[in-house]
């Protein structure tokens, strides 16, 4: 069977990493059978609709390398792929189901519904519609409609029995229908709710596999009832685990950075982010940690998806991104780094500076912080400069160092190192203190690339000027 899968994002905000995560599984499952991966835009929530949100989804997909076969910015045999353009379709099925008695009009006001919910909460009873309008006669319904009363259409749920399905990830799932309330299917403005539109669209677009988060498990009975009432075969459902924080709370756009494009801005490589997110709740059949998108698409399967909520571990993402950065060729690294280089970066020294910091890059955006002292005079913290010796000793060391380095003819790392080591040994300076003091005086930091190569790149004149400034600082201490 050729699999047809879909992702159905709502254009209500940022392009979410969870959307990319689900899309990658959808895409791989469809591609393995020469099927189709569909992008459908669920834009019926007009109160939360953001016009530019949809285009951000496509930009995020393009950056991550995710492609699709139908929908989105492409046409296809099941167009239109925007729910807001499919209202006539939903209305036709709603009319059919109302005529058949599977949907019924509810005229309850918002005040009445609030009072009902407050009472349920007070009495500790399960929340849900109490079925008041379910008992209306046809004459009462007609009279209310003729009077212009506002109404929604609710699903007439059986009051007894069970409904179940075999989930592709979780196995058999069953619900007691007595605990399923009569959910709204068509809102008072004529727009469908998610529950109604998703069933209609998935069937008409011939979706064979529906992947979605475990929070939608409780909606399964409503959707299966619609499939039953419409006499349609339901797709295969697979409820993925919820992505969680380290404290096990749900990953949330209110509390977490879940924007795909923000990871681009922070300097993460798209291939690293893809590799990281597909390992959320899934494992490679060979136990690999690092692998390409192409490899994932070939080996992905639902039987390796865990039901326990995976942790969005940013430390692991950082490690993985660093691995990908160091796997780039010099030419590719240059191409990726250029957008992150600060304006005052000396491009003529690029090939001298970057090799010294590549091993320490976690993200591409780290390049400024790791290289700034090469081309900007750093501020030297006195506490670090004098951490292991008093001001008089440091001032003396720097004075001799300046004299020694001023005599260096060929300013190269090997000669710089020879002169400095000789000076330290002659005066029996404590190695750790002496070399750390030089590093701080030259770079303003205790953590830098190899000291002597760094000094070579900074240049003789700049190094001497920095040492002189540090000497003055030590004398004043």
Catalytic residues: 253
Residue 192 near residue 95, CB atoms below 8 Å: no
Largest CA distance in the chain: 108
Distance CA 283, CA 306 (A): 9
Name 173's Cβ contacts closer than 8 Å, sequence gap at least 6.
Answer: 164, 165, 166, 167, 217, 220
Query: Which residues partner with 164 through β-bridges?
Result: 174
Q: At what angle do helices 431-443 and 391-406 cross, to 10 degrees?
A: 70
The closest alpha carbon to 133, from 153, 162, 158, 114, belongs to 153
Name 321's Cβ contacts closer than 8 Å, sequence gap at least 6.
Answer: 268, 269, 272, 273, 276, 362, 363
Distance CA 8, CA 44 (A): 12
Dihedral angle computed from the Cα positions of residues 223, 227, 233 and 237, in that order, rounded to the nearest 10 degrees? 0
Measured in degrees and rounded to the nearest 5, phi and psi for residue 166 equal -95, 100
**Can you read off the two tokens belonging to residue 176?**
């007691």
Other CB atoms within 10 Å distance of the CB of residue 20 = 25
Residue by residue, DSSP assigns 325-374 as HHHS-HHHHHHHHGGGS-TT--GGGHHHHHHHHGGG-SSGGGHHHHHHHH
Name 77's Cβ contacts closer than 8 Å, sequence gap at least 6.
Answer: 70
Q: Reduced to 3 DSSP states, what percent helix, strand and coil does the chain have, rounded to the nearest 5?
A: 50, 10, 35
**Can you read off the two tokens belonging to residue 157?**
């749920």
Measured in degrees and rounded to the nearest 5, phi and psi for residue 292 equal -85, 165
The closest alpha carbon to 230, from 204, 191, 193, 192, belongs to 204
The closest alpha carbon to 216, from 178, 255, 253, 165, belongs to 165
Other CB atoms within 10 Å distance of the CB of residue 381 = 14
**Can you read off the two tokens belonging to residue 254?**
């209110």
Q: How far apart are the first and last CA of the chain?
A: 79
């Amino acid at each position: 069977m050729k699999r047809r899968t879909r992702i159905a994002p709502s254009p209500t905000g940022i392009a979410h990493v969870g959307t990319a995560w689900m899309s990658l599984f959808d895409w791989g499952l469809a591609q393995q059978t020469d099927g189709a991966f569909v992008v459908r835009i669920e834009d019926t929530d007009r109160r939360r609709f953001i016009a530019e949100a949809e285009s951000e989804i496509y930009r995020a997909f393009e950056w991550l390398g995710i492609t699709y076969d139908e929908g989105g910015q492409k046409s296809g045999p099941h167009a239109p792929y925007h729910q807001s353009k499919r209202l006539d379709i939903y209305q036709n099925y709603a009319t059919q189901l109302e005529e058949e008695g599977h949907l019924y009009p509810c005229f309850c006001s918002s005040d009445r519904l609030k009072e009902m919910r407050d009472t349920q909460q007070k009495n500790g009873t399960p929340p849900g519609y109490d079925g008041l309008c379910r008992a209306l006669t046809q004459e009462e319904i007609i009279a209310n409609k003729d009077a212009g009363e506002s109404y929604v259409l609710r699903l007439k749920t059986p009051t007894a029995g069970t409904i179940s399905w075999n989930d592709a990830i979780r196995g058999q799932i069953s619900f007691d229908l007595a605990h399923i309330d009569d959910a709204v299917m068509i809102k008072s403005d004529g727009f469908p709710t998610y529950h109604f539109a998703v069933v209609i669209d998935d069937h008409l677009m011939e979706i064979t596999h529906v992947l979605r988060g475990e929070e939608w498990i409780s909606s399964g009975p409503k959707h299966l009832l619609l499939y039953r009432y419409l006499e349609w075969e339901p797709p295969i459902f697979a409820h993925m685990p919820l992505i969680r924080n380290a404290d096990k709370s749900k990953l949330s756009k209110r509390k977490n950075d879940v924007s795909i494009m923000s990871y681009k801005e922070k300097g993460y490589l798209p291939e690293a982010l893809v590799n990281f997110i597909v390992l959320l709740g899934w494992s490679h059949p060979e136990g690999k940690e690092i692998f390409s998108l192409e490899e994932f698409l070939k080996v992905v399967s639902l039987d390796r998806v865990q039901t326990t909520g995976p942790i969005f571990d940013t430390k692991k993402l950082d490690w993985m991104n660093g691995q990908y950065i160091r796997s780039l060729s010099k030419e590719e690294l240059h191409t990726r780094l250029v957008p992150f280089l600060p304006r005052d970066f000396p491009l003529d020294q690029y090939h001298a500076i970057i090799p010294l910091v590549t091993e320490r890059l976690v993200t591409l955006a780290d390049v400024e912080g790791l290289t700034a002292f090469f081309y900007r005079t750093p501020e030297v913290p006195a506490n670090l400069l004098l951490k292991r010796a008093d001001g008089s000793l440091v001032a003396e060391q720097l004075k001799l160092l300046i004299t020694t380095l001023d005599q260096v003819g060929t300013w190269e790392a090997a000669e710089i190192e020879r002169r400095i080591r000789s000076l330290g040994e002659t005066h029996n300076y404590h190695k750790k203190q002496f070399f750390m003091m030089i590093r701080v005086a030259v770079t303003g930091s205790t953590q830098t690339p190899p000291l002597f190569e760094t000094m070579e790149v900074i240049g003789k004149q700049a190094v001497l000027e920095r040492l002189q400034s540090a000497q003055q600082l030590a004398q004043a201490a």
